[in-house]
Structure 1
Amino acid sequence: MEELGRLKRALIDTSAGAISGAISRTVTSPLDVIKIRFQVQLEPTTSWALVHRNMYGSSKYTGMLQATKDILREEGLPGFWRGNVPALLMVMPYASIQFTVLHKLKTYMSGSSRTEDHIHLSPYLSYISGSIAGCAATVGTYPFDLIRTILASQGEPKVYPNMRSAVGGVLNTRGLWGLYAGLSPTLVQIIPYAGLQFGTYDTFKRWAMALNRMGGKSSSDINPTSFQLFLCGLAAGTCAKLVCHPMDVIKKRFQIEGLQRDMRYGARVEEGAYKNMYDALLRILQTEGWGGLYKGIVPSVVKAAPAGAVTFVAYEFTSKWLESL
């Protein structure tokens, strides 16, 4: 019976993680496409950035509203969901692996398989659990992330019409390892990102429970409300994104190296433009300034907040629903 209970728990975590990840990714895809367009643009993305020495010339995208109008005019509504298929193929197993590994680690550290007992873990153990879970999920799904970035950033006319041609193009030009281009900065990013996201989420949940207790609720009725869970997820996603955004920019540059998209989108990131992660960091700082490391930060934060909130709320509700079956 105990073995069946563990198997059921694993299936619940996997299914709830996949469903919540798919919902979150689809809802926030437009913001993700805009974010990627900013991140892979070598030219300045804001007017204040023009004060820094600009070696690339005029900019295609200069603000969220302008980028939204341009994408809508040139590519139509489907343009905001470019790369959503590989994104879903990535995020569903990613979320499943992440939440499954997270629950396993928390079960091991707390000595209990009950989700409600995990809230008593220290913030440090929550950070560690989140980081390890994030790394495991990243390695397992990275090629989908790379293909998603390529499809979302290529614009019109398309370099690759679909996911299959994009995979073939990467394999032909960069080989099998090309599907893992940018993995190093991704792992450097995901450790603090996942740790902060899950660690701060658990911390905020504890605060919400403490507030409910102070509000006079009984010990059996102090669990966070739906709105409180939404706020916890929103705050956790925002905190993590603000800290880790520069590594995400570097990752995107490695992912689109050699992509021959139309020149009206600006300078291309040529093959071998960056020797390694450290070289990419220095070159971006030298040619684009500190603002270059935070290109796309506005749509990223705007996206991270609802994405984190939707993911956690959908996970909590899906998990409870599956447990009741």
Structure 2
Amino acid sequence: MSSSEFVAGWISGALGILVGHPIDTVKVRLQTQSRYRGILDCIVKTYKKETILGFFKGMSFPVGSVAVSNSLMFGLYSNALVYITGTECKDWKNPPQNHHVFLAGCFSGGLQVYFTAPVDLIKVRLQNQTESFKRQAKPDNLQARYRGPIHCAVSILKTEGITGLYRGSTALLLRDVPTIGLYFLTYEVLCKWMTSNGKTPDPWTMLFAGGCAGTVGWAAANPMDVIKSRLQMDGIQSVQYRGILDCISKSIRQEGFRVLCKGLTANSIRAFPVNAVTFLSYEKLLETFR
């Protein structure tokens, strides 16, 4: 199993997080809080109350940890693709078949959830904390509950147990397995379509294909992403949802089917630059390592 894909995935994931975390914070707040009328309202209110730093809440943890999940995603995908196709590494002169790409992506999406579920849970809860932590804050003050990622993890373990760290993990699995397969498939198809036979895609092609892959993937993932985020915020004070179907049913009954599109615009805006940078840096790092 090659390690270069994991290292390239780690570095490219960290670069992508730096680009996209502010809009990701906006997306999470739109999905889980009803105080905002839309993206601009969320941005304005966040900036007025928390300054520019409010958009980077919970980022220190993902830069290290989500970079690892990106490393797993790309590493598992690349190695699974090599295994399925029986080649030593991906060759643009002999590109893999589309169904092989999709299967490798689905495998990657399913396996990496075991690591990403607790990481994503902590990130979402920190992003929803609109007040700074205060020692004198009451235990039921949800807006000032956590000092940081480690304190958040310890608090969840104490109050909800180890299963609390995996709250929403089934929804995360249902989100990631098909959409990561679609994510890699979109990138590979666009690269082949925009490049002459046998040639390596140029940087602009990689940027465009990566950006489109991110947008398509997140558009498909958004409905389950909303449910995942709500399940992750559930249980802080009381449990509202008995599971995925109950969460979907109650969310639609209270807010209509449009609730499944919450954060879609923010997700799409964030996805293009983040994944353009991620794919380009990943491909170039692999070239360097090889």
TM-score (structure 2 length as normaliser):
0.92
- Residue aligning to 1:39: 31
How far did 1:22 drift? 0.4
How far did 1:291 drift? 1.3
Q: Tell me if structure 1 keeps the 8 A contact 2:106–2:177.
A: yes
How far did 1:117 drift? 5.3
Give the 3 Å change call, closer, same or farther, for CA 118–35 of structure 1 in structure 2.
Answer: farther
Give 4+ residue runs of structure 1 displaced > 4 Å after superposition.
Answer: none
User: Mapping of 1:292-303 within 5 angstroms?
Assistant: 292-303=259-270
Aligned residue among 197, 208, 224 for 1:231: 208
- Residue aligning to 1:273: 240
Aligned residue for 1:33, secondary structure, equals helix
How far did 1:120 drift? 2.2
Look up the equivalent residue of 1:229 and give its one-letter code: M
User: Which one has the largest radius of gyration?
Assistant: 1
In 1, Cα distance between equivalents of 2:26 and 2:172: 20
Matched, 1:153 2:128: yes
Aligned residue among 254, 260, 281 for 1:314: 281
Is the deviation greater in 32-41 or in 164-173? 164-173
Aligned residue among 194, 215, 218 for 1:241: 218
In 1, Cα distance between equivalents of 2:243 and 2:112: 23
Aligned residue for 2:48, secondary structure, equals helix
Aligned residue for 1:312, secondary structure, equals helix
How far did 1:301 drift? 0.7
Give the 3 Å change call, closer, same or farther, for CA 65–203 of structure 1 in structure 2.
Answer: same
In 2, Cα distance between equivalents of 1:77 and 1:297: 22
Look up the equivalent residue of 1:106 and give its one-letter code: L
Q: Tell me if structure 2 keeps the 8 A contact 1:134–1:190.
A: yes
Aligned residue for 2:3, secondary structure, equals helix
Look up the equivalent residue of 1:133 and give its one-letter code: S
In 2, Cα distance between equivalents of 1:70 and 1:236: 31
- Residue aligning to 1:288: 255
Aligned residue among 251, 255, 259 for 2:232: 255
Unaligned runs of 5+ in 2: 133-143
How far did 1:234 drift? 1.1
Aligned residue pairs: how many? 279
How far did 1:114 drift? 2.3
How far did 1:145 drift? 1.1
Matched, 1:29 2:4: no
Aligned residue for 1:114, secondary structure, equals coil
- Residue aligning to 2:162: 176
In 2, Cα distance between equivalents of 1:118 and 1:23: 28
Look up the equivalent residue of 1:236 and give its one-letter code: A
1:251-281 deviation per Cα after TM superposition (whole angstroms, max 9, x unaligned): 111111134xxxxxxxxxx522010101111
How far did 1:141 drift? 2.8
Look up the equivalent residue of 2:146 and give its one-letter code: Y
How far did 1:322 drift? 2.1
In 2, Cα distance between equivalents of 1:181 and 1:295: 20
Q: Tell me if structure 2 keeps the 8 A contact 1:119–1:206.
A: no
Unaligned runs of 5+ in 1: 1-5, 44-59, 214-218, 260-269
Aligned residue among 179, 184, 203 for 1:193: 179
Give the root-mean-square deviation of aligned CA atoms: 1.5
Q: Tell me if structure 2 keeps the 8 A contact 1:110–1:117.
A: no
Q: Identity over aligned residues, as a percent?
A: 29
In 2, Cα distance between equivalents of 1:87 and 1:118: 35
Is the deviation greater in 144-153 or in 99-108? 99-108
